C-alpha cells in the first residue's frame, strides 16, 4: 500500500498534513501509468488532484449559473424538456 503525505500550508490553516492511502488496485494502476508514460507517480497524483479541483470549480460555477438563471425565471419546465427529447429521438 502506498501512502502519500501532503504537507501543511502555512498560509492556509485549514489544510493540515494528510496522508492518502491507495488500495492495491489504485497503486498498481498508478505504477503502470507512471511506467508507461515515463513519469513519476507523484507528478501523476498532483496532476490528478489539479484535474479534480478544476472539475469541482467548473461544476460549482455551472450550479451557480443555473441557480441564477432559475431565480431569474430562465428555465424550461421538465415536460418541455422531455417533449424535446422525444422529438429528437424520433427524428
Q: Which residue ranges make up each domain of the chain? A: 1-39, 40-91
Q: What is the pTM for the complete model shown?
A: 0.64
- The residues that bridge with 18 in the sheet, in sequence order, are 6
Is 29 within 8 Å of 23 (Cβ atoms)? Answer: no
User: pLDDT tens, 28-79?
Assistant: 999 999 999 999 999 999 999 999 999 999 999 999 999 999 899 988 888 9
User: pLDDT tens, 9-34?
Assistant: 666 655 566 788 899 999 999 999 99
Cell numbers found for residue 9: 500550508
Amino acid at each position: 500500500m502506498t501512502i502519500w503525505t501532503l504537507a501543511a500550508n502555512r498560509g492556509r490553516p485549514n489544510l493540515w498534513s494528510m496522508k492518502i492511502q491507495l488500495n492495491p488496485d489504485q497503486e498498481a494502476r498508478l505504477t503502470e501509468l507512471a511506467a508507461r508514460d515515463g513519469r513519476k507517480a507523484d507528478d501523476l497524483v498532483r496532476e490528478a488532484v489539479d484535474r479534480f479541483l478544476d472539475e469541482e470549480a467548473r461544476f460549482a460555477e455551472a450550479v451557480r449559473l443555473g441557480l441564477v438563471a432559475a431565480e431569474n425565471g430562465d428555465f424550461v419546465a421538465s415536460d418541455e424538456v422531455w417533449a424535446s427529447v422525444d422529438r429528437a429521438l424520433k427524428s
